[in-house]
Amino acid sequence: MIPRKSFTTASITAYHGMAAQALSTPDGLTRRLVLCRSIPGTGWRRLGRIAMHDAANRKREGWIFRPALLKISRRVVIGWVLATPAIVVFLVFKWYLIVSLFLNSFQQLGLFNQHHWVGFANYVALLHNPGFVHSFIATLIWILVGTVMTAFPPLLLALALQGAPGKAFWRAVYFLPGIFSWAMEGPIWIYLLTPDQGPIAKLFGLLGISEPNWLNNPHDIFFVLGALLLWQQAGFLALFYLAGLANMGTDVLEAALVDGASSLQRFFRIILPLTLPTIGVVTLIVLSQTFSGFSEIYVVTGVGVYQTTQVLTLWIYSNGIVAGDIGLASAASVLLFLMTIVATYFGLRNSEGTTP
């Protein structure tokens, strides 16, 4: 056992030397005590004396000694205080509306009528409503066409922009359409695609091709909407692919190039497999846009071309806001909400499964 005098000088010196790197950590006090406990002849009573000696020195220097647990608690409290406004806004404007939506789906009510609890009658009425069934099928078609046409072409755009000179300028150019809303862009496209007056239709006429009537053709309208959605979102989605390509590195591509692999081989065997996680994220973004697609379809086609493009969001608007059947529209909104959750769940699971 070391002498008391030796302990008060050498042990404290060793304590400060061994715990120098632990002073800035949240659990610094615990680490200091553990380090001092490893010094031969240092008991827990003497360890307490060392800790009090350390606290006295720091208090004289203007530093108030507090245990690490209190410091951690203070950081947690500050974090919760800063996050409280966002949590309150989320609960009021998101979860309160969702709960109200579920409750309204089990009631019969109008804009100015009394509430009557009807149970699952609204859901049964939906299944027997031909308009809802047609809108449900139109929604599935729009999700398929919009996702395929919008999620994958931006990858080719990202590959073209990756090594292009002045790529910062071109990124800004392609990102620009996503800044404006469909209320501004929709009328412009309607004018461009109008058969009698639109410049695009007149260009086809100059080439000897009959002027296409895309906006009024129920067989082409979903592809036109998919092309417009791609035009608006291509620059934004290309940024995700550019980030994925930057994280991929160039060593594998350079090795494949040295081995004589062609561009198609490098794309399908190297680039595409390594960007599958990014493709999953982009697909989820496009799925959320197509599920909630309302503004682009309503601005370009109104309530729908011969009701071909009357997806569920338009059907809910027509029956809930225009016709005033809030209970039936709430039940349809609940089904659309559940569809979105299921699609998001499977999309997240598949994207996690493709992560290298």
Q: Tell me the pLDDT tens digit for each residue of 26-57.
A: 444 444 444 444 445 545 455 555 555 555 55
pLDDT score, position 10: 47
- What pLDDT, on a 0 to 100 scale, did the predictor assign at position 26? 41
Per-residue b/e over 34-49, b at no fewer than 16 CB within 10 Å? ebbeebeebeeebbeb
**184/71 Cα distance (integer angstroms):** 52
Adjacent-strand bridge partners of 108: 116
Convert the pLDDT of each residue in 80-111 to its tens digit: 888 888 888 888 888 888 888 888 888 887 55
The Cα 94–Cα 339 span in angstroms is: 17
Give residue 197's pLDDT.
Answer: 77
Give pLDDT, residue 111: 55
| Integer Rg of the chain from CA | 32
How far is it, in rounded angstroms, from Cα 284 to Cα 79? 30
User: For position 15, what pLDDT does the model report?
Assistant: 47
Environment class of residue 332 by beta-carbon count within 10 Å: exposed (0-12), middle (13-18) or buried (19+)? Answer: buried
pLDDT of residue 325: 83
The residues of the chain scoring below 70 in pLDDT are 1-72, 110-114, 303-306, 350-356
Dist. CA 119–CA 327, nearest whole Å: 11
